[in-house]
């Protein structure tokens, strides 16, 4: 299994990259600065040696010689700076003193020293050349050329660079240690938060505290709290559904059990047949209740907003659902009609749920409308919304009850119609899930009910 890097290590890694680059740039610039100062120091010492030799040049009896004791020459050649060579030539470039095989010097500007690198006897050397006036002569000049191996300069440069770069590297390591410690301290609230979550019960979905959380982490905690709130709402809905379902199923199941036990004790065939009919009727009511409970569970909102990607032609859908209820309407003596919208509007939604919603509204209207009544399904639209209405001319819903009947298991007393009180609540949940609105209105003649649903129009 691949090991995941910690946030602390990731921060240190990303900070170490620019620190390493800065250290390399600093070491590179330090190298050139140190090289410049080392060359200046050694070149000055080399020039002083050339001037010292030049002071010992004499013109005597028509000859040029260098009055340089052997001890002084040995001291120059044995100094710690490295191997030392020199050559003195006269006005006509004739040999005067020193190493005769030293490469001919370049012409130095008058009164100034000339420095350059060269190769002598297989060694890299630094050369200094200066032209000096010859005493007791008529303006003649002698050329003093001194050379020194480069190895001492390189050794000194390496030592200087090491002494400069090593502290900088130590500072970079110290900075990394400080960053490691600081990030750990900065992430301490997250560790505390993690321990708090571990100690929580699986039923505790309350929000996490953001008082001691760093500002950078606060959006994450706020998003987590939002998710916990949505999950808590879903769990509340689920617990309420389970409680309601258990309460509603307990009574019909108990009734079925009682009637079954009664049928087992009966001996008269006619009484047994009558009891079986009652059992069948109770089983059908229980089946209808279970189907409505399942529809309600599917219609209730989940933790996430549903992605309503399906395009629905509401005219076609409503016509098909209405046609399915024609046999039931005929059996109840109801005139069931459908009026489509001329523009054939579209909406986004879940086909199954919209059919379930309309089925509950039509079924509810047929059940509460007396024989000879009318139920009409109508589709219309305006600029931004489309409307689905189910009208009936039944007894209607009292104004004080219009909001209450949209709640689950609420039934109006005295209607004489059997039901679980779930049809309108299922319709409302489906409408809300589709970002719509549902209203229960009276007919214009104050008889009957108009269930009006408004959905966003798909343009």
What does the buried/exposed string (b/e) look like for 191-226 if buried means 16 or more CB atoms within 10 Å of the residue's CB?
Answer: eebeeeeeeeeeeebeeeebeebeeeeeeebeeebe
Asked whether residue 169 is assigned to any structural domain, the reply reads no
Asked whether residue 181 is assigned to any structural domain, the reply reads no
Task: Check whether residue 145 and residue 227 sit in a common domain.
Answer: no
Distance from chain centroid for Cα 26: 35
Task: Check whether residue 226 and residue 111 sit in a common domain.
Answer: no
Strand pairing report for 385-392 and 449-456 = antiparallel
Task: Check whether residue 282 and residue 399 sit in a common domain.
Answer: no
Asked whether residue 198 is assigned to any structural domain, the reply reads no
Domain C-terminal end among 299, 331, 346: 299
Domains held by the chain: number? 3
Task: Check whether residue 32 and residue 56 sit in a common domain.
Answer: yes
Query: Domain range spanning residue 139?
Result: 7-158
Residues of the chain with pLDDT under 70: 1-5, 61-62, 69-82, 136-139, 212, 237, 240-252, 254-255, 281-282, 284-285, 288-289, 291-309, 400, 402, 404, 407-423, 444-446, 459
CB within 8 Å of 179: residues ≥ 6 apart: 11, 12, 15
Task: Check whether residue 15 and residue 149 sit in a common domain.
Answer: yes
> What's the rounded Cα separation, in Å, for the pair 152 and 81?
6
CB within 8 Å of 1: residues ≥ 6 apart: none
Asked whether residue 426 is assigned to any structural domain, the reply reads yes
Q: Helices in 300-350 by DSSP H: which ranges?
A: 314-324, 326-331
Identify the pLDDT of residue 346.
87
Task: Check whether residue 384 and residue 249 sit in a common domain.
Answer: no
Task: Check whether residue 388 and residue 267 sit in a common domain.
Answer: no
Identify the pLDDT of residue 78.
52
Task: Check whether residue 11 and residue 154 sit in a common domain.
Answer: yes
Asked whether residue 163 is assigned to any structural domain, the reply reads no
Domain C-terminal end among 255, 270, 299: 299
Domain C-terminal end among 238, 267, 299: 299
Give the domain CATH number at 263. Answer: 1.10.287
Task: Check whether residue 149 and residue 289 sit in a common domain.
Answer: no
Give the domain CATH number at 52. Answer: 3.30.450
Asked whether residue 165 is assigned to any structural domain, the reply reads no
Task: Check whether residue 387 and residue 257 sit in a common domain.
Answer: no
Asked whether residue 208 is assigned to any structural domain, the reply reads no
Task: Check whether residue 239 and residue 331 sit in a common domain.
Answer: no
Asked whether residue 206 is assigned to any structural domain, the reply reads no
What single string gives the DSSP state of each residue in 258-304? HHHHHHHH---HHHHHHHHHHHHHHHHHHHHHHHHHHHHHHHS--SS
Give the domain CATH number at 332. Answer: 3.30.565.10
Task: Check whether residue 367 and residue 269 sit in a common domain.
Answer: no
């Amino acid at each position: 299994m691949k090991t995941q890097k910690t946030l602390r290590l990731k921060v240190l890694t990303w900070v170490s990259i620019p620190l390493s680059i800065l250290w390399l740039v600093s070491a590179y610039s330090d190298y050139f600065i140190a090289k410049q100062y080392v060359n200046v120091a050694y070149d000055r010492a080399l020039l002083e040696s050339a001037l010292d030799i030049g002071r010992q040049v004499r013109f005597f009896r028509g000859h040029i010689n260098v009055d340089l004791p052997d001890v002084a020459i040995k001291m120059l050649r044995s100094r710690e700076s490295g191997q030392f060579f020199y050559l003195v030539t006269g006005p006509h470039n004739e040999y005067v003193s020193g190493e005769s095989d030293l490469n001919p010097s370049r012409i130095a500007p008058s009164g100034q020293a000339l420095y350059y690198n060269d190769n002598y006897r297989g060694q890299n050397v630094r050369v200094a050349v200066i032209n000096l006036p010859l005493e007791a002569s008529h303006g003649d000049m002698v050329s003093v050329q001194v050379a020194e191996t480069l190895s001492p300069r390189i050794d000194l440069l390496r030592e200087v660079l090491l002494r400069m770069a090593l502290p900088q590297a130590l500072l970079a390591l110290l900075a990394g240690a400080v960053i490691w410690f600081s990030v750990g301290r900065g992430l301490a609230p997250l560790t505390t938060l993690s321990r708090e979550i571990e100690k929580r019960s699986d039923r505790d979905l309350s929000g996490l505290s953001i008082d001691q959380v760093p500002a950078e982490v606060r959006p994450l905690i706020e998003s987590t709290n939002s998710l916990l709130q949505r999950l808590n709402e879903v769990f509340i809905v689920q617990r309420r559904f389970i409680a309601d379902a258990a309460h509603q199923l307990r009574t019909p199941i108990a009734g079925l059990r009682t009637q079954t036990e009664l049928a087992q004790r009966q001996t008269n065939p006619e009484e047994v047949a009558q009891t079986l009919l009652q059992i069948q009727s109770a089983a059908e009511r229980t089946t209808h209740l279970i189907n409505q409970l399942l529809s309600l569970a599917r219609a209730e909102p989940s933790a996430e907003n549903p992605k309503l990607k399906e395009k629905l032609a509401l005219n076609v859908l409503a016509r098909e659902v209405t046609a399915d209820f024609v046999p039931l309407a005929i059996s109840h003596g109801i005139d069931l009609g459908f009026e489509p919208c001329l523009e054939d509007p579209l909406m986004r939604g879940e086909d199954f749920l919209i059919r379930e919603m309309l089925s509950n509204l039509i079924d509810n209207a047929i059940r509460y409308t007396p024989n000879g009544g009318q139920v009409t399904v109508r589709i219309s639209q305006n600029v931004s919304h489309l409307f689905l209405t189910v009208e009936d001319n039944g007894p209607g819903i009292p104004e004080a009850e219009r909001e209450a009947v949209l709640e689950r298991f609420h039934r109006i007393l005295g209607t004489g119609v059997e039901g679980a009180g779930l049809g309108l609540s299922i319709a409302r949940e489906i409408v809300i899930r589709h970002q719509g609105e549902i209203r229960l209105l009276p007919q214009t003649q104050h008889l009957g009910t108009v269930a009006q649903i408004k959905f966003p129009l798909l343009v």
